Amino acid sequence: CDDIDWTRDASGTPSSGTGPTSGSAGSWYMYMESSAPNYPSKDANLYATVDLSGESSATLEFDYHYQGSSASTMVLQASTNGGSSFSTLWTMPTSSNSSWRSASVSLDSYAGGDVILQFAATTGASWQGDVAIDDLSITTSGGGGGGGGTTEDCGSASNLSRSTGQWQYFTWTVPSNSQGTTITTTGSNGDADLYVRWGANPTTSNYTARSISATSNESISITGSGTLNIGIYAYSTFSGLSVQACNTVPATASTAQDAPELSISGEVVETVGFQVFPNPASDRLSVATAFDLNTDAPARVYTITGQVALETETANLREGIDIAGLQKGVYFIQVQDAKGQVRTQQFVKN
């Protein structure tokens, strides 16, 4: 028996920052609500009997969603004795992600008879642990069978601390059979931005993908194979950060890359002082500082004669400044640090 029920929903779970906002294949999905009084350690089981008689192979495919910090769990189980006992076929990865993810599980062992399939979810230590599933389908014999399902090979590094303007780089190997890679950062009390780039260290202006927000909880999902360079940029000083990279690969061909640490690529790289790039620039100017900014003071661009040509909020600097509308010439960008000191850098608009 279980403690709480699964719920059919289409408009987003009640709690902010946990659970999907819509289904993966339409509007509706099924989810387990983790808000009080549904935590901690409350079970929710969703099951069905599947008739696989006359079949030689079968595969279950589905989408799942887990976004939160309370360590809720979910497994897919099977029973051939009427539910007296269950075997676990798949375990949900513990990495949090705001996007739907897909899984494929072989049911070949149960072909030729009836089997009870059960999604068994358990709430974590707080309300931030909604779990959802959607778009379930079973394909049976006639093609090459189930394929053995998928698993995640992960590596991580923890307790990272960096000062404003510093980079920490890692490398992560993505095999050719990877169906997708997810990189996440969590747990810091500062502001760390996440960048990735294939084959070379990323920068704030040269990257394959990035995730930037006002916190250090970032996530990137990417496809491809080869050496993926991961860069963590200290937009402001942070400490206690954890980073995890996971490859989704066929369960029968796991790369066995699980390790306590990601590969650290070189030493910490620090942005010196106040930099703008590219310089000269034509469309967008990126800004990097090795000091904390006064976010209450605007950033201003001045002409060589001292006239204000452009003004923007300091918080917008991480996105870069659109200078496409400026005339060609020499300009100065001026910001204010957290101590109130004005910092100036020159650049050329071409």
Tell me the CA distances in angstroms from 204 to 87, 114, 232, 270, 319, one per residue in order: 47, 55, 10, 13, 9
- DSSP state letter for 130: -
CA pair distance 295, 89, nearest whole angstrom:
50
pLDDT attached to residue 253:
44
Full pLDDT tens readout for the chain, 350 residues: 678 888 888 777 777 667 788 888 777 888 888 878 878 889 999 988 898 888 888 999 999 988 876 668 899 999 999 888 999 999 988 777 778 889 999 999 998 889 999 999 998 878 777 888 998 889 886 444 444 567 778 888 888 888 888 888 888 888 888 888 999 998 878 889 999 999 888 887 788 998 988 788 899 999 999 989 999 988 888 999 888 888 888 765 444 343 334 554 444 454 556 788 888 999 999 888 777 788 889 999 999 888 999 999 988 887 789 999 999 998 999 998 877 878 888 899 99
Domains of the chain: 7-148 (2.60.120.200), 152-270 (2.60.120.380), 274-349 (2.60.40)
pLDDT attached to residue 252:
53
Cα of first residue to Cα of last residue in the chain, in angstroms, is 70
pTM of the model: 0.45
pLDDT attached to residue 254:
43
CA pair distance 260, 262, nearest whole angstrom:
7
Strands annotated E in 80-165 = 87-91, 101-106, 114-122, 131-140, 150-162
